[in-house]
Structure formats: C-alpha cells, structure tokens
Amino acid sequence: MILAGYRLELWGVRMNRIEGGCHCGNLYYVFEASTGLEQLGVRACMCRFCRAHGARNSSDPNGAIQIDVRDPAQLVRYRFGLKTADFLLCAHCGVYIGAYLPDENGGRFTVNVNTFCEPPPLEFPLVPHDFGEENKAGRIERRKAKWTPVTSFRV
C-alpha cells in the first residue's frame, strides 16, 4: 500500500514518500519508507503516554525521515521514564507526531502514523508492545536498531 504521495528512487531503492505533521502545520515531516506499512508493522505502545494519545507507531531502519519545525517556540520535547528520547508535540495544536532519539548520527525517530497526511484506516492491524521491562541501555539499543534514521531535523 502506498499511503500518501508517490514512490521515488533513493540510493537506487524504491522508497514510499509519506508526508505528515501536526494539525496546525508547525511540525512537518517527510518519511521515506523502504517498504509498506504492512511490512513495517504498526505498534500500539502500552506506555501511559502513548495510550493517552492513542498513538499508533511505526519506523523503518532502512528508511529516512526529515523533520521541519516552523516555530521552535511551539515545539515541546517531552521526556519521561528513562528520559532517553524526546516525544515531540506541537504546543500550538497539541498533536504528538513521534519520538526522537538523539545520537551521534543525527538521531532516530518513531512516527505516530495518525499524523500522516493520509493515515492508515482505523482497522489497520495494530500490534501491542510493552517495553516497560527494558533498562536504559537496552532501550537505546532497540531504538537504534528499529527506528528510522533522521537525515534532517530543522528547528
């Protein structure tokens, strides 16, 4: 399934270009996925934050994401729990777009697919995940292995 936009060639690989962002347009991203959401999977994280937002999350370690913030004063970087990632919310419209793990290579991101310009249907298969037992090192390791490389984060 191609959810939004079109396919393009990137490094010789066919990529699915998916645009999305918060409701008011302050936070915007282009997610280039190497395959469809059926293959990537959509996760329902069982932490209280994701449950409260009804977040549906996906990521692609073989993809790329570019994030743009128009008004940095309206970007909230919320940290909780082990405090290894920034959960990015728009302070103006309140939407949660995904979580950012900073690292030495530009960082990693997991995206809330509800914020795609054309989100997957409500009946899209959702796999519950509970990461509550992870320690800090294990959590960072998993995210570096599974989340999407951030190729640009303009604030």
Residue 94 vs 132, nearer CB to Zn ion? 94
**Of the candidates 22, 37, 55, 69, which one interacts with Zn ion according to CB under 5 A?**
22
Long-range CB contacts (within 8 A, 24+) of 32-36 = 32/8, 32/63, 32/64, 32/65, 33/60, 33/63, 34/60, 34/62, 34/63, 35/60, 35/62, 36/1, 36/2
- Contact pattern from residue 92 through residue 121 relative to Zn ion, giving x for each residue in contact according to CB under 5 A and a dash for the rest: xx----------------------------
Of 64-93, which residues contact Zn ion (CB under 5 A)? 90, 92-93
Residue 64 vs 90, nearer CB to Zn ion? 90
26 near Zn ion (CB under 5 A): yes
Q: Largest alpha-carbon pair distance within the chain? A: 40
